[in-house]
Amino acid sequence: MNDWNLSVEQAVEFIEWCIERGITTFDHADIYGGDHRNEALFGEALKLEPSLREKIEIVTKCAISVPNARNPHIKTRFFNTDKEYILTQVNDSLDKLQCGYIDILLIHMFDLLIDPRELNETLLQLQSEGKVKYFGLSNHSPLEFDTLQKYSDINFVTHQFMLNPLGIQNYQNGTMTHCLKEGISPMIWSPLAGGRIFKPTSAVEENMHNVLEAIRQEQGLEHLDEVIYKWIFKHSSNPVIVLGTGNKERIERAIKSAEGPELTKEQWYKILVEAGYTLW
């Protein structure tokens, strides 16, 4: 949100506009905007219009330590799931968001040095204190997910990871199938490859652009983004997309993509194979 240069009043207006259209979940992380800055702008909007809080769900993340002015002792990025660190990050997020609870807290990346029993204690404490309602993971492999779940008394309710026609590794490594197995709706970040798909700069990107354009014409859709969203939505795990745009026209199109005819199986597989998936 900070990148969109919104005033607090404009942020309130944007959140209300989203709620009116059924978009009620807002995705944050302690590191977005640098050291809780995105959360702070959102928190200012909640302070200006407190009635918004009960109408929305706030997702935020922790577990990536990055060098910043508040932590001058940190010189190198690393993943940190120590109890003390997570509790500090969550308290800071609540402080910046100016609200009493987070709806879903995600562990942002898999910490190879994690003590899963300690994580379990941390999450139970956050839940019993009423600071976090639900928990999930982000960017974990199926094995990493299952390992943390095995030690956790709390069921992870979602898994957030990247998927787009320029990045299908989460089909190749079984993460999408794992969501289906676990009955989890994945939250898909970078559904449009951060916009790269619209401005191809390599032969691979150019080819995918052409494939998507051909399917757009077959389906009579207005824009390529609708083809991509429909491709993501078609999986039986019931994925949701985490939009990266603040452009209202583009957001309206994303909403529209959830309705109307789906891609055919043949169109869906065409995109997957052109993205580099080997069928046999």
Ligand X SMILES: NC(=O)c1ccc[n+]([C@@H]2O[C@H](COP(=O)([O-])OP(=O)(O)OC[C@H]3O[C@@H](n4cnc5c(N)ncnc54)[C@H](OP(=O)(O)O)[C@@H]3O)[C@@H](O)[C@H]2O)c1
Residue 64 CB neighbour total at 10 angstroms:
18
Taking the complex as a whole, the smallest distance from the CB of residue 197 to ligand X amounts, in Å, to 8
> Is 32 labeled as catalytic in the residue annotation?
yes
Query: Which residue bears the tokens 């199109």?
Result: 253
Q: Which of 32, 85, 171, 269 is the catalytic position? A: 32
Identity of the residue, 8 or 242, whose beta carbon is nearer to ligand X in the bound complex = 242
State which residue, 234 or 250, has the beta carbon closest to ligand X: 250
- Identify which of 161, 167, 114 has the alpha carbon closest to the alpha carbon of residue 139: 161
Quick one: 104 or 192, whose CB is closer to ligand X?
A: 192
Closest distance to ligand X from the beta carbon of 279 (Å): 26
CB of 224 to ligand X, least distance (A): 7
The answer for residues whose C-beta is within 8 angstroms of residue 252's C-beta and 6 or more apart is 21
Structure tokens at 54: 């009960």
Amino acid at position 217, single letter: Q
Is the four-CA dihedral 11, 15, 18, 23 of positive or negative sign?
Answer: positive
Q: Which is nearer to ligand X, 108 or 235 (CB)?
A: 108
CB of 191 vs ligand X, minimal distance in Å: 5
User: Is residue 199 exposed (0-12), middle (13-18) or buried (19+ Cβ within 10 Å)?
Assistant: exposed
**Could you give the CA distance from residue 255 to residue 266 in angstroms, rounded to a whole number?**
24
Residue nearest to ligand X (CB): 244
Q: Which residues bind ligand X (CB under 6 A)?
A: 27, 108, 138-139, 160, 189-195, 198, 225, 242-247, 250
Active-site residue list? 32
